[in-house]
Structures are given as structure tokens and as C-alpha cells.
Structure 1
Amino acid sequence: MSNNGNTVLGILAGTAVGAVLGILFAPDKGSVTRQRIADEAATKRDLMAEKATELRDSLGNTILSQKENLDEQVEYIVSNASYKAEDVITTLESKLRDLKEKNKTLQKKA
């Protein structure tokens, strides 16, 4: 996204410089030239504001998408950990039953 922003900024800057130079070298009166520069600057300002809004919206959508993705991954990890904990508990319960049986056998012999 940084490359796209830099590219757009470069294109806009180049366009603005070219337009200003073209106006300055045009054979018009000073007042007409100044008005053209002011009009061109207003147009470019509006275009940059529009591009900034688009970039902000795009960034917001990207952040929202990444947040949703992260939420899904966290949910998967928690669920997976829960299943693993259940497996560990089941294994420990089985071993505890075996130890109780061995202990009963030892108590009968004594």
C-alpha cells in the first residue's frame, strides 16, 4: 500500500508542477495566469482530498479484515487448546485409575 500511495503522490506532484509551468509560460495576462494557478491548485487540492479519503477508507477496510482474521485465529487456538487439555485430562484420569488398581492390589497383599 505504501508503494501505491507514493506512486499516486508522485503522479499528482508531477501533474501539478507540469500544470503550473505550462500556465506560467502561457502568453496570458498576469491576472488570468494567477486565476488559472488558483483554479488548478483548488482542483488538485480537491483531488488530493478525495484520494486521501479513498486511502483512509481502504486502510480502514484492511484493518477491519485483519481484525476479523485475527479473531478467527484466536478462536481456533483457544478451541484447539481446549481439546488438547481435554485429552490430557482423559489420559491423566486413565493413569489415575491404573494407579488405584495397583494400589488396591498392593493393599490386599499387605
Structure 2
Amino acid sequence: MSKSSNTLLALVLGGAIGAAAGILYAPDKGTKTRKDLSKKAKKEQEKLVKQLKETRESLTDNAQQAKLSFEEKLNSTISTASHKADDVIATLETKLAELRLQNAKLQKDATVEKAKVKTEKALS
């Protein structure tokens, strides 16, 4: 049970016990006692409505704060992931450029080697 549920239960139970004790030990007439009980019940009802309203507002505020906090953390995580992805892409592009240079050198070396072989065959 939540704190607000326990508080609500305590209020209702306290009101009922108080009403029962008031009836049992009432020194006044029944009509006066009923009026007093009615006034007390209205006051307790007003307190209860006020507490429910405050609890609802508090829960709404907490939910909004949690949502904002989540959105901030999500944006931060996305931003960090984006930067890391950019770093990975930059590293991959650098490696690709290096591999292209190595490939071009290997192709050049292979072409030179083929030309040497052809020249040697032609000279022999």
C-alpha cells in the first residue's frame, strides 16, 4: 500500500471511530449530535478532498520531473552515441583511405613486375 493510501485509510478509520465514540458518549440531544456529526463529517470530507488533490498534484509533478529527466538522459545518450558513431566512421574512412593507397601500390608493383618479366623474356 502506498503512503497516500495508508493516510486515506487512517483518516477514514479515525473519522469512523470518532463518530462512533461521539454517538456512544453524547451528552446532547440526538438532533444536535447529528448536526455536529454532519459538520465533522463535512470537515473530514473537505480534508480528504484537499489531501487527494495535493497527492494528485504531487504525483503529476513527480511524473513530469521523471519524464524531463528521462528525456534529458535520452538526449545525452543519443548525443554521446552520435559522437562515438562519428568517431568510428572517421576511423573507418581513414583506414579505407590507407587500404586504397596500399592497393594502388600493390597494383603498381604488380604492373611493374609484369613489365619486368615481359622485358626479360623479350631480351632473352
**TM > 0.5 between the two?**
yes
Question: Which residue of the partner structure matches residue 22 of structure 2?
Answer: 23
Mapping for residues 1-110 of structure 1, pairs under 5 Å: 3-25=2-24, 26-109=26-109, 110=111
How far 1:31 sits from its partner (Å)?
0.8
Length-normalised TM-score, structure 1: 0.90
CA RMSD of the aligned region, Å? Answer: 1.3
How far 1:7 sits from its partner (Å)?
2.6
Cα contact 1:24–1:33 (8 A) shared by 2: yes
How far 1:61 sits from its partner (Å)?
1.1
Secondary structure at 1:21's aligned position in 2?
helix
How far 1:49 sits from its partner (Å)?
0.5
Length-normalised TM-score, structure 2: 0.81
Which protein, 1 or 2, shows the higher relative CO under an 8 Å CA cutoff with sep ≥ 6? Answer: 2
Which deviates more, 52-61 or 23-32? 23-32
Q: Partners in 2 of 1:104 and 1:13 — Cα distance?
A: 86
Unaligned regions of 5+ residues in structure 2, if any? 112-124
What letter is aligned with 2:3? N
How far 1:35 sits from its partner (Å)?
0.9
% same residue? 31
Q: Partners in 2 of 1:48 and 1:60 — Cα distance?
A: 18
Runs of 4+ residues over 4 Å off in structure 1: none
Q: Partners in 2 of 1:60 and 1:5 — Cα distance?
A: 14
How far 1:18 sits from its partner (Å)?
2.2
Unaligned regions of 5+ residues in structure 1, if any? none
Cα contact 1:23–1:36 (8 A) shared by 2: no
Task: Name which one, 1 or 2, has greater alpha-carbon Rg.
Answer: 2
